[in-house]
Amino acid sequence: MLDTIIYNGTLVTVNADFDILKNGWVGIKDGIIREIGVTSPDDTLPKAKNSINAGKWIILPGLVNTHTHLPMTLFRGLADDLPLSVWLNDYIFPSEKKYIEPASVRLGSLVACAEMIRSGTTTCCDGYFFEDDVASSVYSCGLRAVLGQGVIDFPAPGVPNPSENIKAAVAFAEKWQGVSPLITPSIFCHSPYTCSSETLKKSKDAASANGLLFQIHVAETQAECDQIQSAHQASPLQHLDRIGILDPDTLLVHTVWTGDEDIDIIAKHNAKISHNPSSNMKLASGIAPVVDFLDAGITVGIGTDGCASNNNLDLFQEMDLMAKLHKVKTHDPTAMNAETVLKMATLGGASAIGLDDKIGSLEVNKSADIIIIDAEKPHLVPMYNPASHIVYTVRGSDVRDVMIEGKMIMRDRILLTIDLDDILKRMIRLGKEIKT
């Protein structure tokens, strides 16, 4: 007997054939999808302990956010409409120095997890400081995540001595490896302009030795490219290539300022990319050549970045914005079509962070990370093309139910693993303190 069956919905599988199954059902046992089928009026569904009627709505694999800084919900809207260098150096770094400590990191991460779950994200890839406290919050929420302790060549929250940065990252990874199938540790180097070549190489070596994903911001702004060119006579991607950072377990975040040679380098090493359109636009960093990345066979996932530079974690909004942004950039309304974008937010994102064998599509033997979207709201009827609807019309608030590894995390918009009211009250109090 199955543990759970989800039935009476339109299954958008995001499998290799992008099958869309009307009147579809998914059978789940021990957290894994065991069966997928389609029913006619006379069919009898398999027996299950629990049944969830999808109400003829959309059944979709959970979304994958490939780049977040979860505790930065603390600084949502604190310093808007500023250049990246001013935003970071004059506002974010000083605020982190003053307010980032274990309790605030746990609280900010809980708020972020609640926001993601309620908008259909079931997996995120995060990098920050006090990542052990981030992991504790993520674990308590039941969210799936790849989590990286931050490495930077400056005194940082929780690591006042920069010479201890890699040691702290490795200790975090060793602590969390194998603790839960939902938590995958990682190492996150901030960028080539905040980490020396030695730090980058040692961090990458540590990640490789432990089988971990290595995350890094790179080629985010023209100023960064000019700085790296001056220091190393190379573009940021060329610099990372020369020191041996790039391989299939490297996640490159932003990659806005990349030329043809850079793209060839990324493709050659099969490194992955996290594209963060909202953050890049808001900070006026530029528009990454994502169409060229895809044409080169590079795996690209979608990320929101942190709430301080987005200002939300809604991947449905990110999909809509991304599709339109690249149509404008290429002057081609057929570029970045809905199916392509939806794949990037699900299976492509899973591949970018090394989890595509487990999540990202509704297929037998994959984890039951599933969301149900209420498709009978005024802005969602009629529905002719489910994939187009998901990208251009659905909002995060349309997500009704969320399941992660077969466990219901949200039912009828109510979070089942955490006390949201208490979390929000505490966050409001802390926000007032930060504002003053």
Q: How far apart are CA 221 and CA 227, in angstroms?
A: 10
pLDDT band at 3 (very low <50, low <70, confident <90, very high): very high
Q: How far apart are CA 217 and CA 237, in angstroms?
A: 11
50 preceded by a cis bond (ω within 30 of 0): no
Residue 38 structure tokens: 């389609």
Question: What digits encode the pLDDT tens for the residues 31-62?
Answer: 999 999 999 877 889 999 999 999 999 999 99
Asked if 352 and 299 touch (Cβ cutoff 8 Å), the reply is yes
pLDDT of residue 383: 95
Q: Tell me what percent of the residues of the chain surpass a pLDDT of 90.
A: 94
Residue 253: strand pairing partners: 217, 274
pTM of the predicted model over 0.85: yes
Question: What digits encode the pLDDT tens for the residues 302-347?
Answer: 999 999 999 999 999 999 999 999 999 999 999 999 999 999 999 9
Question: What digits encode the pLDDT tens for the residues 58-76?
Answer: 999 999 999 999 999 999 9
pLDDT of residue 301: 98
Question: What digits encode the pLDDT tens for the residues 181-207?
Answer: 999 999 999 999 999 999 999 999 999
Domains of the chain from N-terminus onward: 2-61+358-415 (2.30.40.10), 63-352 (3.20.20.140)
pLDDT of residue 87: 86
Asked if residue 436 has pLDDT above 80, the reply is: no
pLDDT of residue 141: 98
Asked if residue 427 has pLDDT above 80, the reply is: yes
pLDDT band at 295 (very low <50, low <70, confident <90, very high): very high
Nearest to 180 by CA among 129, 215, 145: 145
Question: What digits encode the pLDDT tens for the residues 200-212?
Answer: 999 999 999 999 9
pLDDT band at 406 (very low <50, low <70, confident <90, very high): very high
Q: How far apart are CA 347 and CA 387, in angstroms?
A: 14
pLDDT of residue 85: 84
pLDDT of residue 84: 81
pLDDT of residue 41: 74
Question: What digits encode the pLDDT tens for the residues 147-167?
Answer: 999 999 999 999 999 999 999
pLDDT of residue 323: 97
Q: How far apart are CA 45 and CA 39, in angstroms?
A: 8
pLDDT of residue 196: 97
